[in-house]
Amino acid sequence: MTNLLILGSLISGLSSTHLRAEVVPQSPAVVKVATVPNAAVIYWQAFYAIPNLTEEQKKVLEAAISSDKAPVSDELKPILAQYRIAFHEMQRARHVTSCDWQLDMSAGPELLLPHVQKLRDLSRVSLLRARQRFAESEKDAAIDDVLATLKMARDCASSPLLISILVDASIEKAAIDLLARQLPALTKDQQDRLEKELALLPPTVTVATAIQWEGEIFGTWLKRKLEAEIRQQGNSPSTEKLFAALCLSMGVPCNLDPKPEDRQGQRLAELIKTLSIADIDAQIKQLSDDFNTLAQIASLPFDQRKAKVDAFEKSIEAARQLKDKADLKRCLTITVLPSIGNVITREEQLHIRRQLLEQALRVLREGENSLTPIDGKMVRYQKMANGFELNFSSSSGDVILKVGTEG
């Protein structure tokens, strides 16, 4: 890894005579520094600093991550130490508000998201070190690790993409659950600091916003692809080949000559033969309309979404039968549109879990009578041996936060 220390060593190794011979007095060079810091750039430095572990070290690390209550073993400590620089960069990024991943949204389904998996992997190790620090009574340092992880998760979801929202929800759940187990052991000052810093975490995009963006991304990209295919084919483009090329560009092969026993494939091939360029344009418009419908559903209050989502997905499932040309109009929708039910559920549960953490801090300070409703519904409190449990019944199921330990 090239760093300033290595560069300094190289410079020091040069002959001082040679250095003096080359020195010419001149004005200091003007170094241009970015006027607005960007956390994404710092995260990439953290990703670069992630160590290359041996297979045995990976097994030890994965075993510790998969068991969130097992004590951190001595053999794990030197492995975590190798992440020192990556963790340092996470802390730097934690104090930088702006985060722009510079994604090429015009790439459509070819959009590269290399940061998402790296971010997920680093977050798991960061929370493991927080566990280690909590166990060793380094509570302030452990809190810093969790806050840096939460900030990184939120920064992932600064991009209006559904996958980014899902990754954020997964990381935040793990971080909040870890914090909740440790809350009773924190001092009042530590609890107060945690409460203040949680309030400073950046907001994330909503599922509704992400759906609108993805609809625009796919719609624009498909129109551009269609125009490019028409130009490539010349004056008399084959609509069958145009449609097949569009499908293939999205990673979905379209067989125009299926086997006789493939009845569904035969039916699709027959319907594709009836398409005109105007029909393909109509499919792209239908895809945009379906994205807009989903965005409207995702904008509703949480308790009103499920029935609407179920009805919408049932209509999409019916179109998969390809009984007629009207069903074929939704062929691109069937290919591109994500299953939204899981994403909406995760958004609601994260919304609740964040509030349960806030309420847990208040209960520790003021008692269980300080609990307040979430979205008009009361939070249930249950005493445990070394803490308490907060339970909230949402439209997507119960969300439970265990504060402290059961025994």
Looking at per-residue confidence, does 384 or 30 come out higher? 384
Query: pLDDT category, 243, cuts 50, 70, 90?
Result: confident
pLDDT value of position 34: 55
Query: pLDDT category, 245, cuts 50, 70, 90?
Result: confident
Integer angstrom CA distances of residue 71 from 75, 119, 182, 328: 11, 24, 14, 56
- What are phi and psi for residue 59, nearest 5 degrees? -65, -45
The first and second tokens of residue 94, run together, are 């934690």
pLDDT value of position 248: 82
Query: pLDDT category, 56, cuts 50, 70, 90?
Result: very high
Query: pLDDT category, 235, cuts 50, 70, 90?
Result: confident
Tens digits of residue pLDDT in 325-373: 788 888 888 888 888 889 999 999 999 999 999 999 999 999 999 999 9
At 390, which helix (H) or strand (E)? strand 386-394
pLDDT value of position 24: 43
Residue 404 in 3-state DSSP? strand
* DSSP 8-state code for residue 257: S
Least confidently predicted of 97-111, 239-253, 368-382: 239-253
The first and second tokens of residue 101, run together, are 């991943």
DSSP codes, 85-96 = HHHHHHHHHHT-
Looking at per-residue confidence, does 100 or 23 come out higher? 100
Alpha-carbon torsion, ordered 45, 47, 50, 54, to 10 deg: -140
Res 109 pLDDT > 70: yes
Q: At what angle do helices 139-156 and 162-182 cross, to 10 degrees?
A: 160
Q: What is the mean pLDDT of residues 90-111?
A: 94
* DSSP 8-state code for residue 338: -
pLDDT value of position 237: 82
pLDDT value of position 287: 92
Residue at token pair 């208040």: 362
Q: What percent of the chain has pLDDT over 70?
A: 91
CA dist 402 and 74 (Å) reads: 28
Tens digits of residue pLDDT in 131-177: 999 999 999 999 999 999 999 999 999 999 999 999 999 999 999 99
CA dist 93 and 151 (Å) reads: 8
Q: Tell if the pTM clears 0.75, that is, is over it.
A: yes
HEC readout, 189-231? HHHHHHHHHHHCCCCCCCHHHHHHHHHHHHHHHHHHHHHHHHH
Res 405 pLDDT > 50: yes
Res 3 pLDDT > 70: no
The closest of 362, 400, 392, 379 to 183, measured between CA atoms, is: 362
Residue at token pair 């449990």: 389
CA dist 199 and 86 (Å) reads: 25
Tens digits of residue pLDDT in 197-233: 999 999 999 999 999 999 999 899 999 999 998 998 8
pLDDT value of position 339: 83
pLDDT value of position 67: 83
pLDDT value of position 262: 81
Over the chain, what is the mean pLDDT? Answer: 88
Residue at token pair 């509704």: 208
| Residues comprising the chain, all counted | 407
Tens digits of residue pLDDT in 13-34: 433 333 333 344 455 555 555 5
CA dist 286 and 335 (Å) reads: 12
Q: Identify residue 39 by its one-letter amino acid code.
A: A
